[in-house]
Amino acid sequence: MIEIGRGYDKTVEGLLSALNDKSMLVRRSSAEALGNIGGELAVEGLLSALNDEYRYVRISAAEALGNIGSELAVERLK
């Protein structure tokens, strides 16, 4: 996982917002990106995305949470 400097929080916020986009492809891509750069800031949004109506979004969110490796995510998924 990488952090992208000063714009990190704003980038994560934008991707979290995109998890609510009307397009399944945007939501899926956002989940994937958050798995690469999201860190702890992304966990709550990704946990919510596990309830998306489209399985590909749910799968991407689950993989992203696995990439982040958050203890919170592990506890919430039990």
* Nearest alpha carbon to residue 3 among 32, 30, 33, 39: 39
Domain tally for the chain? 1
Range of the domain at 21: 5-77
Separation between Cα atoms, residue 44 and residue 24, nearest integer Å: 19
Domain containing residue 47: CATH number: 1.25.10.10
What's the pLDDT tens digit per position in 8-58? 788 999 999 999 999 999 999 999 999 999 788 999 999 999 999 999 999
pTM: 0.86
Contact 19, 45 (CB under 8 A): yes
pLDDT over threshold 80, residue 6: no
DSSP states of 67-78: HHT-HHHHHHH-
Return the H-helix or E-strand segment holding 29: helix 24-37
